[in-house]
Structure 1
Amino acid sequence: MPEPALPAKLARFRHAKPDAKFDLSRIDPGDKPCSGGKKAGDREAVDALALELDGLQNKFWADRRYKMLVVLQGVDTSGKDGTLRHVFNRMSPLGVRTAAWKAPSENERAHDFLWRIHAAVPAAGEVVVFNRSHYEDVLVPLVNGQIDPEAAQRRYAQINDFERMLCESGTVVVKFMLHISRGEQRKRLQERLDDPEKYWKFDPADLKARDQWDDYQHAYDHAIRATGTPWAPWTIVPADSKTHRNLMIATVLRSVLKGLDLRFPPLPPELKGVKVP
């Protein structure tokens, strides 16, 4: 499986070489490489791309030569749910599925950490979007001191092997790290506390994670450095702007799907010339 395609203007946001020098702090969460300059125009562009992605996904489903796993990873409030609403909202439920990952259950902890993940990967022709992912099973325990750096490195090596196996079996793996600033996270968390319609979204555990901001940034930096590969590269998405986040992700997905040379299957010979009565 070749490296997923990426528009040239976004090349600096891609990391696809393990152990290469990488510094997350050098990427500005407020950057807007895909923006046309006006929010309204960007919003219209996202809507147009969502329609185009629907057509490409329809062909992807009919083609059946590939599978696609889209990973949305990021700190709390980085926009994983919003991406699902705005980028994938025009796609038919046929062939598109979402898996949201939380802390593993007791039964899941009794198996290796990838056991539950493998059961949710896409089948032929299917697009599966992970809202959080297997990376949570390294980032969170590492920051909380439940595993040490050596154990984390072993898990990242296992993830690389797992993702390579998926790619060698026909799965296109597209990984997005939604990169927001500490200030933007504060604003979004406060909005959840101030808006009665968003109370349900606030989790007191988010405040503990916020206290660990620097630790999580360091952990993400290491994770991306260790697991950006040619077969499953990371794209870092500046996400302080919700509209730009959606625009950039939709742009990348369109590029990836177009790079697959998808085609509808031909009409079976026995159906040629058939007239429906």
Structure 2
Amino acid sequence: MYLHITGTNVRLLGSMHLFPASSRRTPPWIEQAYDWAEALVFESDAPTILPFLKADPQRGAQSLASFLSADTWTRLQAAWPADGPLTPLADLRPWAALIIAPTLFQQLVEGVEPRMLRWATGEGKAYEFLETAQEVAGALESIPLDAVAAALELLMADLSEPQRTVERMHEAWLDGDLSAVHRIAVESPMFNLPDIRRTILDGRNHMWAARINELLARPERTLVVVGALHLCGPGNLVERLARSVEPVFAGE
């Protein structure tokens, strides 16, 4: 989960963006990684995605409702927030509904990135991002609608799955067990559908690898923080970088 790219001043940290509400503690190795770094690099600036969540009515976007069963659509609408930036559901891009829906059935608290960003802002530590919100939205827009619909149908068929998955994944993550993190992920409907995995993980890994390679000559100690799923499974970020890495242990 915490790797040093050999011969450089760059390290990779596999994070969890959100923690189960029952486990709020920041693991000590997260604080250790933050303290080591002189500069931080995160995936993207999450709040800046908000303007991209809703479809442009002028473009005649296809309706998610037309791809779902009537029962799934009704149940999803009933679970959706009554107000706020994510409403109404019918106005959201299908991919936005896909990434938000599981969180409606989870008890969560902020994970690694929000904590590190707060620390960095308070201390004046430099940080930047691997991708823009527009790039994230463009990638997610490429997920086929039938894959979005399939994932949402599976979600609504087992509403307890998202909480079970995040708790199991968090436990494996705390143990530093990347193979277990990957095994748990592929059992989840979200990542068991090839089109979704290719977009959310594989395609972004390819893009990030090129951008991280540009960081490797930096003299300052740089910590790149990405979701742990990007570091495991076929086509993972370490494979894409094609550089040797070494695990970082406590105190290093």
The TM-score, its normalising length taken from structure 1, stands at 0.27
Structure label with greater radius of gyration: 1
